[in-house]
Amino acid sequence: MTLLVAALLCLIGGGILSLHPRLGARVAVPGCVIAAVLGVIPATQVLSGGGVLSLRAEWAVPGGSFYLHCDALSAFFLIPILVVSALGALYGAEYMRHSVNRAHWFFYSLLVAGMAGVVLAWNAIFFLVAWETMALASFFLVVTDDDQAPVREAGWVYLVATHFGTACLMILFALAGGGSGPLDFDPMIATGAGASTWTLGLVFLLAVVGFGTKAGIVPFHVWLPEAHPAAPSHVSAVMSGVMIKTGIYGIVRVLTSCGVPPLWWGWVLIGLGLLSGVGGVLFALAQQDLKRMLAYSSVENIGIILLGLGLGAVGWTFGEDRVCFLGFAGALFHILNHALFKSLLFLGAGAIAHATGTRNMDAFGGLFKRMRHTGGTFLAGSMAIAGLPPFNGFIGEFLLFLGGLIAVMSAQPALCGAGASVIAGLALISGLAVAGFTRAFGSAFLGEPRSECVEHAHDPGWRMLLPMWILVYFCLLIGTSVGPLAAYNSPAWSAAWPGKTPEIAFAVASCLSCVSLWAGAFVVLCLLLAGFRLLLLRGRSVRQAVTWDCGYAAPAARMQYTASSFAQPLTDMFRTVLHTKVSGGAIADVFPGLSQSSSVTADAVRAGFYQPLFSGVLRGVIAVRRLQHGNLHLYVLYIALTLLFLLFMELG
């Protein structure tokens, strides 16, 4: 525990010192890295040895206490939070070198400390303080470039959304806390299992809405595609990679604290998972802004995680341990994997935006020749996120598909239906994700440059590349050697899910070893075939020419398929969902002249639900405004009337 506290102090101390104009990144970045090293040691111990670390100190605030608690679940979330944030800080040190924003590193360190606090807090008040620290610090990081109107708009949307979530959480803790005394989590969990089904149902729904807003579950995701593109890239990486996972942490915590869940909980999670997964990937396909597309893809991945949690919950309800284990294990693996490859992709996107000055995918092309390292890492990230072996994304999907297959065999129609929905949904999502990331990688890195901004692009310095390659290494490591790792860690798995026998964990670990083995065989086969090809071509004529293209005489870069045209068949097929607006481009004359065409896909939920809702609220608020005159004596009158009213209440 000492090490964990030291890590937190390191973060806060580094943050405060970085406010000094001469220090800045020079103390904050080492602070993040040292905190990661200090924090990962106890977290791995907890994960591999089981056991719980805790530390409690009194706090004068009513109901509050400084109660830190690290069990296997906290440790599992803590490791990616600290590691990804440290890598993000290393990258950011170079990325933000010319920034004049002095408070940046202060807020960055606070964000990391807040996230660590959220997963370690074991008292409701302390938890909410950490939660708000995280929310506010990330708000200030989102509005780093506040001289641009869209960034301010994004910050505003984010601020509203995050506080909507916090409001739900306050009600949740009030409900769960019930009696007097400090609002520690132990008594809450102790009473949780015995509470009435109505209270528990309400707690669950509040958790899904409150935590789901942070996680970016459709329909509470609207802040995500606004805030993530607006923030600097290493901040987007941290927010998308690990910050939104704190929402998932909350949902998992509530889910595992309420005893055996009723069937409808599982169905709610699966339903929201399908909505987020399919919705997220479709909107990702329709975006032209690279970072916005990545943000929507985060919504998709949160959907996959929810599918796993839902499947696990349904398996739990029916007492089918294998489904329960595989559902939750798949969800947890996907949380870890997504933290790695999504932050990798955001860092790559930042490098591209840095080099070209734009995020418009239709303007890129041919970057692979100019940015070898960024291209290589982005390719690895794309394959990982598309769930292709031998990368780590496949491992999470493997566990979920296997859980779905076991569920499908059940004699219970509900369990069977849940399994079938998860399998079909996951297959569709992963198929569309392959399309989405083929498009992202292909349009940015391959072919010929589509605009001048690509001409002078080059790789960033090694300080930015190193964190990206480290993330690629982790992705490959999990993808190719997860089996042995999982077998080693299986005590931790069963500690995280009490009552789940380690035999299941061992059986799953042996399956994963087989996956690793065959994925390794595939890599070896690739190398052998590449060698064979070289052998064949030795001494033969190998020529360079223009792209043949069925005999085009003069191919031009403008003729290439763009990112938009690549996705057009799919976006057209799902036009009822996407409502893409296309303007221009129609040919009127026999000899068409210059013409322009543009398309934009706004968020359907935001345009169709929140904007009408908020303009309605605004109208209501304007009506109330008549009470506000700015006359001081009227306000005094209001106060007097209120006091009078309270007095009568007390007397009556």
Partner 1 sequence: MTMYEYSCLPVVFGLTLAPFFLGIINRTKAKVAGRQGQPLLQAYFDLWKLLHKGAVYSRTTTGIFILGPVVGLAAIVAVLGLTPFAGCPPLFSFIGDLILFAGLLGVMRFATMIAALDTGSSFEGMGASREAWFSSLAEPVLWLSFAVLARLTGQFSLGAIQSEIGSALWAASAPELALTALSLFAVFLAENARIPVDDPNTHLELTMIHEVMVLDHSGPDFAFIQYAAALKHWVLASLLAGVIAPVHTGHAWIDITAALLTMAGIAVATGLVESVMARLRLTRVPQLLVGAGALGVMAFIVDIMR
Q: Count the Cβ atoms, other than its own, within 10 Å of residue 310.
A: 27
Closest CB to partner 1 among residues 427, 644: 427
Structure letter (DSSP) for residue 558: G
Structure letter (DSSP) for residue 416: H
In one letter, which amino acid is 148?
Q
The token duo for 265 is 């909980």
Phi-psi region of 123 (alpha: psi -120 to 50; beta: other; left: phi over 0): beta
Q: Which of 212, 250, 315, 447 binds partner 1 (CB under 8 A)?
A: 447
The token duo for 303 is 């959907």
Closest CB to partner 1 among residues 32, 281: 281
Phi, psi (5° rounding) for residue 597?
-140, 140
Stretch near partner 1 under the rule CB under 8 A, chosen from 72-80, 124-132, 240-248, 405-413: 405-413
Residues 568-627 close enough to bind partner 1 by CB under 8 A: 568-570, 573
Residues 216-235 close enough to bind partner 1 by CB under 8 A: none
Residues 362-391 close enough to bind partner 1 by CB under 8 A: 365-366, 368-369, 379, 383, 386-389
In one letter, which amino acid is 220?
F
Gyration radius from the chain CA atoms:
26
Angle at 630 between CA 629 and CA 634, to 5 degrees: 70
Using H for helix, E for strand and C for coil, what is the string for 84-144? Answer: HHHHHHHHHHHHCCCCCCCCHHHHHHHHHHHHHHHHHECEHHHHHHHHHHHHHHHHHHHHH
Cα–Cα distances in angstroms (integers) from residue 163 to residues 59, 157, 160, 171, 192, in the given order: 24, 10, 5, 13, 25
| By the rule CB under 8 A, 632 interacts with partner 1 | no
CB of 522 to partner 1, least distance (A): 4
Tell me, rounded to whole angstroms, the distance of Cα 467 from its chain centroid.
18
The set of residues, in sequence order, having a beta carbon less than 8 Å from that of 542 and lying 6+ positions away, is none
Q: Which of 45, 166, 257, 438 binds partner 1 (CB under 8 A)?
A: 438
Buried b (16+ CB within 10 A) or exposed e, 251-264: bbbbbbbbeebbbe
CA nearest to 212, candidates 282, 313, 302, 135: 302
CA distance 456 to 348: 17
Residues 450-509 close enough to bind partner 1 by CB under 8 A: 507
Q: How many chain residues touch partner 1 (CB under 8 A)?
A: 85
Stretch near partner 1 under the rule CB under 8 A, chosen from 27-35, 182-190, 530-538, 617-625: 530-538
Residues 537-566 close enough to bind partner 1 by CB under 8 A: 537, 540-550, 552, 555, 557, 559-561, 565-566
| By the rule CB under 8 A, 630 interacts with partner 1 | no
Stretch near partner 1 under the rule CB under 8 A, chosen from 20-28, 50-58, 230-238, 407-415: 407-415
| By the rule CB under 8 A, 402 interacts with partner 1 | yes
Residues 180-209 close enough to bind partner 1 by CB under 8 A: none
Stretch near partner 1 under the rule CB under 8 A, chosen from 61-69, 166-174, 525-533, 621-629: 525-533
Closest CB to partner 1 among residues 346, 441: 441
CB of 510 to partner 1, least distance (A): 8
Q: Which of 5, 167, 428, 470 binds partner 1 (CB under 8 A)?
A: 428
Q: Which of 115, 275, 371, 435 binds partner 1 (CB under 8 A)?
A: 435
DSSP β-bridge partners for residue 583: 598
CB of 312 to partner 1, least distance (A): 17
Residues 139-158 close enough to bind partner 1 by CB under 8 A: none
